[in-house]
Amino acid sequence: MSFISSIRYIKPDAHRAFVAERLKALKQQLDEEIHGQTDDTSLRLATWNIMHFSDGGAYDRTTESLLYIAEIIDHFDLVAIQEVNHDLKKFELLMQRYLGGDWDYILTDASGNRERLAFVYRKAKVRFLREAGEIVLPEGQEIVAPDQVNATRKLQFARTPFAVTFQAGWFRFKLCTVHIYYGKSADNSPEMEQRRGEIEKIAVFLAKMQKAEKRSSGTDANMILLGDFNIISPEHRTMKALLDAGFVTTDGIKDAATSLSGKHHYDQIVFKLAERRVKLGRSGVLDIFKSVYRSEDAAHYADVSEIKRITDGRDGSARTRDKAMDYFRNYYRKHQLSDHNLLWCEVKTDFSGHYLDAIASGRDPRKM
């Protein structure tokens, strides 16, 4: 349960009442689309690029937006977050005041673009197994990308991937999150080749890690790779780079666009599961503006809200009502929530029936 008492600080009174109604609508949306479609014993796993989170300036989150972000996160059990900024004031405020002691988190240091990667998790459902690390490619396995004069460079990841081992129920798994290099989106550009190369290298690296762990310990390693891959489309070679390494996705998210325009498939969750007893359930994309910061709310924010960034331009002059509404729709709401929708999947983590069936039939449950 997220903590909502901070709503009392929102002004004016008319806007505070409006936020209360929008928060109720968001709760209902999440209950219907997430909790109503999944099993409480399952792991509700998500990935979300929260645009420049904790960056200050135009991206400085208000009490209102922190209420919405916390409510969304609280309907899942484990969320990978990309674009957490080096300044952690608002992130720590989110965790302490809005999510509270039921939740914990693991963060990287700031790498490319001064960004961090984070995992936030519900302690009652998910256990951190004290194994974590940023992934640096060994010598000879670096990303090879052409530069502007057709030479080649050997590169590490622009933003270092982050892998952590967790356990949820009976399910032990290594979870790796990424924010892949973007650059130019032209298909024949050096930047696109670097983007595709990063995706290929992280997928191959984890596939090799899975085999190595099997050889060294004899245990099966379940791999989940998720985050912002800046994938062009399900048919594009950026997605093919993931699938060629043996990772699979689900029908619910395979063709799902996560950009607000509905045209881009930047985010993804893919699996390379070693245990046959692991089953994937429902999955999908959460429309983050279905219940809050809706397009039709623009007039309210232009007329009632005291947020000066909506009604005042950069030079301090007042925007016209129409321009304030345009600013709300095109800029403000993305800076408060994100320019990415959230992607999620249900993982069934209760293997007790499988285990008991094996025992009852005289078989070794570890070999089934």
What CATH number is attached to the domain comprising 281? 3.60.10.10
**235 and 142 within one domain:** yes
Same domain, 227 and 348: yes
Q: Same structural domain for residues 250 and 303?
A: no
For CA atoms 45, 211, 255, 65, give the dihedral sign.
positive
189 with 299, same domain: the answer is no
Tens digit of each residue's pLDDT (9 = 90 or more) over 14-66: 999 999 999 999 999 999 999 999 999 999 999 999 999 987 666 789 999 99
Assess whether 282 and 311 both reside in one domain.
no
The verdict on 228 and 258 lying in the same domain is yes
Q: Is 90's pLDDT higher than 90? A: yes
Q: Are residues 102 and 210 in the same domain?
A: yes
Range name among 93-102, 134-143, 236-245, 350-359 with the lowest pLDDT average:
350-359
- Give 74's pLDDT tier (boundaries 50, 70, 90): very high
Beta bridge partners of 318: 312
149 has a pLDDT exceeding 60 = no
Asked if 300 and 318 touch (Cβ cutoff 8 Å), the reply is no
Split into its structural domains, the chain has a count of: 2
pTM of the model: 0.94
List, in order, residues 6 or more apart from 347 with CB less than 8 Å away: 42, 43, 45, 168, 171, 278, 279, 280, 281
Q: Over range 246-267, report the average pLDDT.
A: 91
Q: Cα–Cα distance between 31 and 223 in angstroms, integer?
A: 28
**Residue range of the domain that includes 301:** 293-325
Q: Are 195 and 320 in the same domain?
A: no
Q: Same structural domain for residues 210 and 313?
A: no
The answer to whether residues 226 and 299 belong to one domain is no
Q: Does residue 191 belong to any structural domain of this protein? A: yes
The answer as to whether 330 is a domain residue is no
The mean pLDDT of 137-155, rounded to a whole number, is 77
Average confidence (pLDDT) over 178-189: 89
For residue 331, being part of any structural domain is answered with: no
Q: In terms of domains, do 172 and 305 share one?
A: no
Between 268 and 212, residue with greater pLDDT? 268
In this structure, are 213 and 302 located in the same domain?
Answer: no
* Domain contains 310: yes
Q: Is residue 116 part of a domain?
A: yes
- Domain membership of residue 332 (yes or no) is no
Extract the tokens encoding 347: 């993982």
Separation CA 320–CA 328 (nearest Å): 12
User: Which residues 6+ apart lie within 8 Å of 342 measured at CB?
Assistant: 46, 47, 48, 72, 79, 258, 285, 286, 288
